[in-house]
């Protein structure tokens, strides 16, 4: 194998650029006492990328909310509860549903309604995921069946040439190894197959 010196130099240049960038970031972290602006910029860039990327079908908004819940869960600071973004959305939804002078019974009923809607949404989401998984499994199964049928066809096309000196049990074992399946045929079927192939 002949190595291209120019390609090696270009590869080395890329590594040096990456190394320089990593060392510069490391030095900045070690030298600065306050990394709040750096962290905020990294978070802003990540959020922009997540929000502007193409949504993943119907699960796009749910995936984004799950990610927001993960990076900023509910926090308690100085006795105050800071809700996560999904919880803030939920709170705003409840507040918009309630009349200004709502009593406890109405509040309880509205909270139960919100809980029911949330559970129904979660159930629909889970069912969609299960349906997608089943569809993928069915596609994989159909592909495997097609591949194994092609293998069986090829085996039967070539078997008449390799039957000499082999017992039916031997070629049955060979076919089972090719298909990665245990095969069992009655002696009558094996004899019938050999006769059909040799006649």
Distance CA 67, CA 86 (A): 10
- Is the predicted pLDDT of residue 161 greater than 60, yes or no? no
Closest CA to 69 of 93, 97, 89: 89
Confidence of residue 197 (pLDDT cuts 50, 70, 90): low
CA distances from 61 to 55, 69, 86, 145 (A): 7, 12, 11, 36
Question: For the residues 129-145, what does the mean pLDDT come to?
Answer: 92
- Is the predicted pLDDT of residue 95 greater than 80, yes or no? no
CA distances from 133 to 127, 137, 146 (A): 10, 6, 20
pLDDT for residue 131: 92
How far is the first Cα of the chain from the last one, in angstroms, to the nearest whole number? 53
Cβ-contact 87, 76 below 8 angstroms? no
Residue found under tokens 């002949």: 2
Domain ranges of the chain: 84-143
CA distances from 141 to 15, 39, 42, 134, 177 (A): 43, 46, 43, 10, 19
Distance CA 119, CA 114 (A): 9
Question: For the residues 8-28, what does the mean pLDDT come to?
Answer: 79
Q: How many CB atoms lie within 10 A of CB 6?
A: 8
Which range has the worst mean pLDDT, 2-16, 24-38, 89-103, 177-191? Answer: 2-16
**Strand blocks (E) in the chain:** 75-77, 80-82
């Amino acid at each position: 194998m002949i190595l291209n010196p120019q390609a090696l130099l270009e590869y080395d240049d890329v590594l040096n650029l990456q190394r320089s960038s990593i060392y510069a970031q490391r030095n900045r972290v070690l030298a600065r006492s306050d990394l709040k602006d750096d962290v905020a910029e990294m978070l802003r860039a990540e959020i922009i990328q997540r929000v502007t990327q193409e949504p993943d079908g119907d699960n796009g908004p749910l995936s984004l909310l799950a990610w927001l819940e993960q990076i900023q869960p509910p926090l308690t600071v100085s006795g105050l509860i800071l809700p996560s973004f999904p919880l803030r959305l939920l709170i705003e939804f409840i507040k918009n549903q309630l009349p200004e002078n709502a009593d406890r019974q109405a509040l309880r009923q509205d909270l139960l309604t919100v809980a029911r809607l949330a559970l129904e949404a979660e159930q629909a989401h889970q069912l969609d995921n299960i349906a997608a998984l089943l569809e993928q499994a069915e596609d994989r199964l159909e592909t495997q069946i097609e591949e194994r049928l092609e293998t069986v066809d090829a085996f039967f096309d070539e078997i008449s040439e390799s039957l000499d000196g082999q017992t039916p049990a031997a070629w049955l074992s060979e076919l089972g190894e090719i298909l990665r399946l245990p095969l069992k045929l009655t002696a009558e079927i094996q004899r019938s197959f050999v006769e059909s192939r040799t006649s």
